[in-house]
Amino acid sequence: MKRLLSALLLVLVFAMPALSAGRAPIFTFRPEDGGSLSGGFAVSGNALLFGTETGGVYSINKRNGSLNWSYKGTNSITGAPVVVGDKVFFAQGDGTVTCLNVSNGSTVWETVPYEHENSMIDSGLTEGNGMLFFARSDYKLYAVSQNNGRTVWTYSGSSQGLRTAPAYSDGLVFLGEYDGIFSIIDAKTGKRLNGGGAGGAINTPSVSNGNVYFSSWDGSVQSVKIKGTEPLWNSKIGDPVTTSPVVGNGMIVVGTGRGLVAALNAKNGNMLWRFDTEGGEIAADPVISNGIVYVPSGDGAVYAIDASTGRTRYTYSTRSGGISGGILVSDGVIYFGNSVIYAYHD
């Protein structure tokens, strides 16, 4: 009998991750336009905001999933909505940029580009210094006023095109280009101050503690001290890196085109651990929160990985296809989705 009880206890211990994965969501929400999540999430008070591939923008109650309001655009929403005060900004794939009242979804202003193929916005918006920054496929980085959407300046990139969103910090815009050029740009004037590069397309950079980190499809992750543009380290992952470098817990975490998650020491770039999702390309950025790295995978699961050990604590599974957009952890709840939005206790 004692042996039987011991065996049962062992089964229960090893089954705990699976039991965690099987818990019920707080709520699910299916967008009324039938579209899948196309970017990330934003939060404004108790509202959760997101866009879909069919042009819908939604504000729902982040506690129970009830609909506050919805907006119907004309093209896929790219990136996560950006909330500043009482306004929410977002971009569409055809190059349109829209500003809505965040409380009721009414239109404040909208900029519609000339209708040609080089108007596309492949990634979303970044805000700072009273402006919105975004890249269009006409090889230009745009800075427009948050007040009215009027263009303040443009910066011309290379002929290979700009396909990722820039980053902003402390009066500077950080831009990675498809042909591997990395630039630091004055946010007021649009003038390139300095930069560097990589051997492949550069993802959206990340900024923390006076350093900028950028990753590339050539498999590299680099750290550069912003003041003086001093290179600090350059690490090779071995796979094409498909996400931005995510900073937290003294580490840098990236995802690759073959489903690998890699954690690097933020100070020196040394590899801390690797985790294989075995789910194909990791297209959305991981999130670091409370000592856990959350990774959306192409196999329809979100992996909760211990940031110290690189071991799985538990998984959340949609059982309905890959995670099609970013994930968000807010007030002890994790949000992710595809054609359905899921909310689980963290």
**From CA 280, how far away is CA 32, in angstroms rounded?**
29
Order of strands, edge to edge, in the sheet holding 126-128? 126-128, 131-136, 140-145, 151-156
Question: What one-character-per-residue DSSP string does 114-148 give?
Answer: -SSGGG---S--EEETTEEEEEETTTEEEEEETTT
Dump pLDDT digits (tens) for 251-288. 999 999 999 999 999 999 999 999 999 878 898 999 99
Looking at residue 6, its pLDDT comes to 39
Dump pLDDT digits (tens) for 88-132. 999 999 999 999 999 999 999 999 876 656 678 989 999 999 999
Looking at residue 116, its pLDDT comes to 58
Q: Give the global pTM.
A: 0.90
Looking at residue 138, its pLDDT comes to 85
The segments of the chain whose pLDDT lies below 70 read: 1-22, 114-118, 159-161, 319-320
The residues facing 197 across adjacent strands are 181
CB-side neighbour CA atoms (13 Å) of 212: 30
The residues facing 301 across adjacent strands are 317
> Contact at 8 Å (CB) between 32 and 57?
no
The residues facing 176 across adjacent strands are 182
Angle, CA 139 vertex, CA 141 and CA 148 arms, to 5°: 35
Amino acid at site 325: G
Looking at residue 300, its pLDDT comes to 81
